Structure 1
Amino acid sequence: MTSLHQSSAAGGDIASRGGVGDGTSRSLRIGGRERLILAVLLTAGFTLAVDFSILNVALPTIGADVGFSLSGLQWIATAFSLCAAGFTLFFGRIADLFGRRRLFLAGVAVLGIASLIGGLAGTPWVLIVARVAQGLATAAVTPAALSLLTTSFPEGPVRDKVLGLNGALMAAGFTTGAVLGGVLTDLLSWRWAFFINVVVAVAVLALAPVVLAESRPGDRPKVDVPGAVTVSLALLAVVYGLTQAGERSWGSPHAYGALIAGAGLLVAFWAIEKRVPQPLVPMRVLRRRTVGWGNVAGLAAFATETSVVFLLTLYLQKVLGYSPLAAGLSFAVLGVGTVVGGILGPRVIGAVGGKNALVGGLLVQAAATIPLIFLGDRPGWIAVLLAATFAGGIANLVAIVGFMVTATSGLPDDEQGLATGLATMSQQVGITMGIPIMSAVATARIHALGGPTAHTVLSGISTALILNTAVCVVAAVLLAVFLRPSGRLRATA
């Protein structure tokens, strides 16, 4: 495959200012045009991150207004997450082949239309169709936006800074969604959780064609249709199995049957990719330790921190008696921590290297989670929660920035869509899998103690947080042993 022709003036301007691409310059200055690029891409990414959680608090209200049964409410979230995680790798590769800006604009347009339909929905099936379309738009826009970032800003300190901002806003978006969903539902209507996307989509579509440069391949190789179908079905099965495990139990045929099917399809995908002439995911890319282990780190980072938010939401409401809105507002401190971590991440990478930033971030995140294991039922424990989530948010974002830099570095421009598609897939699967796994652990402990009471819920949460901490530590140890970065990803201090 020939390299994509990059016509981005932003990349050229940065490179001409002193060799940022090879890491010889320490300037982190970003010019006016680049700021517009960032504004467009980061706004879109933040909005998509908000969509993962903005409806969670509003689900009972939506069910009553639109006519969902209690068991059907889960599909408002599941329909979105299935499509967002299931098709992201496919769309990431499509962005490489047919143009990143083109896919980005098309995805934003679909997001706006789907959000308008969702906000006006009066029946369950219309709302579910809108959520499916939102999920597909997310699967298209997220890797396209991330690859536009990595190709507009050459590899080096400037790209690290940009990825830090992107990671901070993506993580903060998940937390903001929980808060914003409660505020909009209480003050206006849950429908505004959809309508906000329409406003953002119109603004992005007005600016993006002016500030974003297209990248096109010199030729258009055939799309690996068997590989695309197989991996999409595999991811759909895995995500569905994980969500069913959280909703039902790990012993449910819906859960383990889907997970077994997903594993089988992933094996089939691997076999297909080794045989087709132009694979969707070239095996040489997966054999890069920075890509493979970088994505393991991303999976762990997103799975652990988003599940901490879920577990602490249960703690605040079921143990301390907070309202949904008050519980959501309590995570504002975590949101501040993620922003701080996103800003510090590039500096940490510059000082100690990408690998050490990843390992250190996960270990500090584990250390910050340990005090949460010992939370009690007295109101004063909220101070411990706020301090620990702030520290954990900083550490988690340092790890996430390290993951993004590691998983997308050292690859040519024509594989950036693939790399960012893999990174986005890790992010979205991590968000999806963390909550049902930790929920299943907490639920099993609660049932073992005789049923849900404030005491048993607290015990279940503590048990799940022990596992959460262990995942961070194990991931850090594996990365310390097996990740072998090269070049500037090594420590420079």
Structure 2
Amino acid sequence: MDLPRTQPGRTPPAARRSAVLAVLAAAQFTVMLATSIVNVALPQIRAGAGLSDSGTTWVVNAYSLAFGALLLAGGRAADLLGRRRVLAIGLALFAAASLAAGAAASPGVLIAARAVQGLGAAAIAPAALALAMDLFPPGPGRGKALGVWGAVSGAGGAVGVLLGGVLTQAWGWAWIFHSVALGAALVLTAVAALVPRTAGRTAGRFDLLGTATVTLALTCLVWGLTTARGAGWTDGRVLGALVAAAALLAAFAVIELRRPNALIPPRLFATGRVAAGNLLMALLGSVWIALFFFLPLYQQQVLGYDALAAGAGQLPLAAANMLGSALAPRLSRRIGATATVTAALLTEAAGLLWLSRLSADGTYLADVLGPSILVGLGLSVAFVQLTALAVDGVPPQDAGLAGGLVNTTRQVGGAIGLAALATLAGSVTTHAAVHQSYEEALTAGYRTAFAVSSAILTATALLAPLLSRRTDARTATARTRPASHPRIPRTTRIG
């Protein structure tokens, strides 16, 4: 049953807004859950589906590839076709693909189903975020909504590892996908019942040429980066894909400058802090996905944990993430968003630096618990604030595109970071294995990955104030304009 259409500029009562936000957050949680839920079950999936080494890798890569490459298209489709409609279509596609993955009897079907899952996720994530921003105008309410968004986004990654371990041990790997399908179906039902039909659809035409070009460019980029993890950076296929991605991105830039209905219109960057938010989110994403890749591996391959124990080990990180997301709006109001972002990034960097001291004969309590809490707190606060930056001052008609863009930068940043860090860790492990035990060599690789991740976040923290100062200079100019010129409302206070 559909609720009455909401009128432009009006918001539903507070109780209804809270219920709708819960539904939209559940959609985001489902997307993030599917990103990490397979990680601890890959050995069982490989044996059950008859996958090769490369095929096992593509159980993860197929989802990430489709998700990252199609997010911009999904965001623009949400603006042009209606955000609620695109969200519902994405959830239905996501649920159907999840069922197909759980029932797959061959490697090809499983990998194809994961790719379709990614397609559904690329529609869900930007549409849900845009609907959430529609519900809450700039101010404290939006800050709280973004806090909820950060909590479910971070918790989805951590809970996915735990749930994957529980389901794999209890009922087998197929139930990983069946549970995701059930969750998506429940969210779809709630969307149909609670999310109102909005009147905020944007007039315009879909930029087919620009969309096709950037989608192909992102596909080449993400494919090249994920393939580099196994084949190496000098592999001809990897180099060819990266060169093609660069050429296609250059062509996309030329195309967009000449089209009246550009996929990424210049107005998106003319106000607010969209560029700064996306750049910083890409850098945060470069270590985010790698964290949930390396930490469970250390627990399983070095500490000897089974899938369930490794998943349970993520609970403190998830709890810290939810706490940090709740605190983020309060911190921003008290000390300013720039200081909040900087402190959050440095906190996460400290946690990763702590993880870089892992030992092969370590324990969870001594080596993992403390840094996990620091990382969870820093990650969640930074994510909330950078999401706010990335939608700050965006015209309402481009909200879906802005949501797709910030998700794209996080996904692409994550693909770049994971490919580079996995290659680096593998190289260190190979050299260390000459004179160390297998566990010691693995640990040396993980330590290096965490140390480099810490350095990246430290540099990002130092970069954040510089970007904000340049942005403040632009907005200061805007404040000097005559009163007859309307000002675009700001999403969050910087500095």
1:479 pairs with 2:482: no
Structure 2: stretches of 5+ with no match in the other structure:
476-489
Separation in 1, partners of 2:360, 2:55: 33
CA drift of 1:218 comes to: 6.8
What are the Cα deviations for residues 353-375 of structure 1, in whole angstroms up to 9, with x where unaligned? 22222222111211222222222
Aligned residues: 472
1:232-273, CA deviations, whole angstroms, 9 ceiling, x for partnerless residues? 011111111111122222222232322222122111111111
Q: 1:10 & 1:371 partners in 2: Cα distance?
A: 49
SS at match of 1:375: coil
TM-score normalised to the size of structure 1?
A: 0.90
Q: Where does residue 439 of structure 2 map in the other structure?
A: 454
What are the equivalent positions in structure 2 for 1:460-475 lying under 5 Å apart?
Answer: 460-475=445-460
Find the aligned partners of 1:354 and 1:7 in 2 and give their Cα distance. Answer: 34
**1:242 paired residue number:** 225
Among candidates 70, 81, 85, match of residue 102 of structure 1: 85
Structure 2 distance, partners of 1:322, 1:156, is 45
Alpha-carbon distance in structure 2 between the residues aligned to 1:274 and 1:123: 45
CA contact (8 A) 1:354 1:402 kept: yes
Shift of 1:104: 0.5
Residues 206 and 109 of structure 1: is their aligned pair in 2 closer, same or farther, counting only changes over 3 Å?
A: same
- Distance in 2 (alpha carbons) for counterparts of 1:268 and 1:172: 38
Match of 1:27 in 2: none
Answer yes or no: is the 8 Å Cα contact 2:33–2:159 preserved in 1: yes
Do the aligned partners of 1:11 and 1:154 also contact (CA within 8 Å) in 2?
no
2:138 matches 1:138: no
1:83 is the counterpart of 2:66: yes
Matched-pair contact (CA < 8 Å) for 1:362–1:399: yes
Which residue in the other structure is 1:20 paired with? Answer: none
Q: Secondary structure at the match of 2:40?
A: coil
1:180-233 residue CA offsets vs partner (Å, 9 max, x unmatched): 111101101211111123322332232212322233567742211111001101
Relative distance call for 1:192 and 1:245 in structure 2 (3 A) is: same
Who is 2:261 aligned against? 278
What amino acid sits opposite 2:421 in the alignment?
A: M
Residue 491 of structure 1, CA deviation: 4.8
Query: Which of 329, 345, 353 is the matching residue for 2:336?
Result: 353
SS in structure 2 at match of 1:368: helix
Q: Tell me the distance in 1 between the aligned counterparts of 2:271 and 2:112.
A: 38
Matching residue of 1:18:
none
CA deviation map 1:153-198 (0-9, x unaligned): 1111111111111111111111111111111011012111111233
Aligned CA-pair RMSD: 2.2
Q: Which residue does the alignment assign to 1:3?
A: none
Shift of 1:343: 0.7
Return the letter of the residue paired with 1:489: T
Deviates more, 1:32-41 or 1:396-405: 32-41
My pick for the range that moved more, 71-80 or 391-400, is 71-80
Choose which of 487, 490, 493 in structure 1 pairs with 2:493.
490
Identity of aligned residues (%): 35
Unaligned runs of 5+ in 1: 1-5, 15-29
- The match for 2:248 is 265
The reply to whether residue 225 of structure 1 matches residue 208 of structure 2 is yes
- Normalising by structure 2, we get a TM-score of 0.90
Counterpart CA distance in 2 for 1:251 and 1:177 is 33
> CA, structure 1 residues 201+462, in 2 after alignment: closer, same or farther (shift >3 Å)?
closer
- Give the partner amino acid of 1:178: V
Structure 1: which amino acid aligns with 2:449? A
The alpha-carbon distance between structure 1 residues 240 and 198, as it changes in their structure 2 partners (threshold 3 A), is same
Q: CA deviation at 1:450?
A: 4.2
